[in-house]
Structure 1
Amino acid sequence: MWRIDAQRLHAVVEALWNEDHQVRVHLDQEPNPAREPTVTSPPTTAPASSRHGAAYEGTVTVLSRRTVADGVLSLELAPGSGEPLPPWQPGAHIDVVLPTGVTRQYSLCGPAELRDRWRVAVLREPDGRGGSRWIHDNVREGTRLRVRGPRNHFPLRPARRYLFVGGGIGITPLLPMTAAAEAAGAEWSLLYGGRTHASMAFLPELAGYGDRVTVRPQDRYGLLDLAGFLGEPDPSALVYCCGPAGLIDAVEAHCADWPPGSLNVERFAAAAGEQPAVEEGEQPIEVELRASGMTLTVPPEQSVLRAVEEAGVPVLSSCEEGICGSCETAVVEGEVDHRDSLLTDEERAAGDTMLICVSRARGARLVLDL
């Protein structure tokens, strides 16, 4: 009979959380252009210190470049000065700032205990906005890249049991999660799908876990059997899913009757119905930038992010679709009309933060900590 070592689980996951708490601080694919727990758990979302700002900002050198699947590169990055990199927990990602001026997010997918290097994987996106193509065509061993991070909007929380579902390049944030679950002695299993066997990265690493990992390329097995894998709602389990929108939507449907907070997802693109858009009857809003001492009028056709940038106030941004979290900003006053695909229901209800690339005010005025 399987028994979880609760103390080991708590120690492993809490250690990752505590390391990340000391830092002031998914995505691996470019944005689409068109219970009964027996372990005391940390909060269900990453603490503010790990979500805002960057723990490290500087230049790293590419130590290795490997092709790990059709169209997928694995890059190992190390700081040029040799100083240790910031600690991170499974689910974290970094920003890679390319010479072309674009910024992309990539999940850290190597061993979390290593402090001298980070590993990321990059899927070449022929129909993307050029970031992944530039990396595939230009980055070699010895290439220097500007990076920021890590940040974590997809943290692993303690549980008796984990069900991981990965699709394509969405396997990357799940790799350190499976390693942490294994180290803690937790019960876990992974369902991993992709277009073809050759397109699925890191299979040799996962093979070491034996029957805990189920590999199902679509050209041989069809769509993933989510009902068979997830089973009935389990109050002691947490589900983690990363991959294409269709996969995440299907997992959300299967988990609709699970206890609140059981499902944790990371998206590559905004969820259906949450794409940034000008709503009918949209009105201009007034946005006060408290720290900068200025007030802006943001017309319906302009995002708060764009208005802030045009006012000359520096703010991080990348996807502009409400999925990466780079532009997450603290709200001092006002009610937010959340239109992102990242914040939890609890965070939206709290109303003390917003993604200014897509979200606006429910009323006529917002005060931001900018």
Structure 2
Amino acid sequence: MDLADDLISDPYGVYDRLRTTSPVHRIKGTDGQPAWLVTRYADVRAGLADPRLSLDKTNALPGNYQGLQLPSALDANLLNMDPPDHTRIRRLVGRAFTTSRVEQLRAPIRAIADKLLDALGTEGTADLITAYAAPLPIAVICELLGVPGERRGDFRGWVQTLIAPDPGRPQAGKEAMGAMMRFFAELIAHKRHAPADDLLSDMIAAHDAQDGRLSEDELMSLVFLILNAGFENTIQLIGNAIWTLLQHPEQLAALRADPSKTPAAVEELARVEGPALLAIRRFPTEDITLGGVTVPAGETVLLSLSAANRDPDRFAAPDRPDIERDATGHLALGHGIHYCLGAPLARAETEIALTALLDRYPHLALDGDRPAAWRRSQRARGLTSLRVSFRSGPSV
């Protein structure tokens, strides 16, 4: 089944039709190679926690969709690993994203948000993705890793190229990837010479330890994963949340009336318009039955997080956002051992971003007839631009 264009232009409509007719479908991936798409909540949740569904590409059969191909120095990351390597590496970096560590970051995150809003001014129009939703998590993750301030602008440009590639410059993505790899190598060399109180220095120390807990490729891959996945999801969480609230003014009004609902609202907004349409591809290590369909070992399985999160068998009226809903159990950030490592940080940044924005601008609205542009992707669900009008001052 070739649904490549439809899955980009109307993902929720396609998922609804597929989920209604059958829980598992044979489709073509973005590279034209086949994969099995799983759409129902119960099957997706079970699949995310099933150890027989491997992330290791050595378990993939040739001729099946395998997802993004990275240079070997960036490929040894958590999204391509199973235990015990996954367990070993995740334990090394997990302490940087604990709830207690994130609580210590709330004040600095709010300061970054306020600074970005100061730059917007008191009245006007803006693209909230480029002016707010993107630079906030980039600044936070760069601070966490210890990326020098003077290099953050370069890094943001590379990221934007990878997130929203220019069709007229097909080599731009490869050039940005090469520039990032050189940057990572320089940064690692600098931190090795002059370590600081940051996550990258801690990872380098783990790499250089005599017990060899982290290889050179694993170190480089971890930096890449944290700097990219660590903020890409958050950019999309923030942007999608703002878009959804502005599309549903009754939900926006309810949140303004009771800001204490913000944490619950973030969960519901993540459920209904999450940052990822699909979980990372998986490969069965043996023949496996999903939704009554037998998938042979080595073929590719795509678990649709967004289809699961809009399954009416799990969430009533699933296409309608409702910040009063208990969205516990949504799969926007995954489930099982591969649950998003940076989830506590992403949640905190999204809560703070929404609170700061709504505090500052009681008069906030979509600007123009086509204020939003979505990234063309089967995997990610995110805005490349979001035009708004805004004005500070008391609400009327």
- TM-score, normalised relative to structure 2: 0.24
- Considering Cα pairs closer than 8 Å and 6+ residues apart, tell me whether 1 or 2 has the greater RCO: 2
Whichever structure has more strand as a proportion of its residues is 1
- TM-score, normalised relative to structure 1: 0.26
Whichever structure has more helix as a proportion of its residues is 2
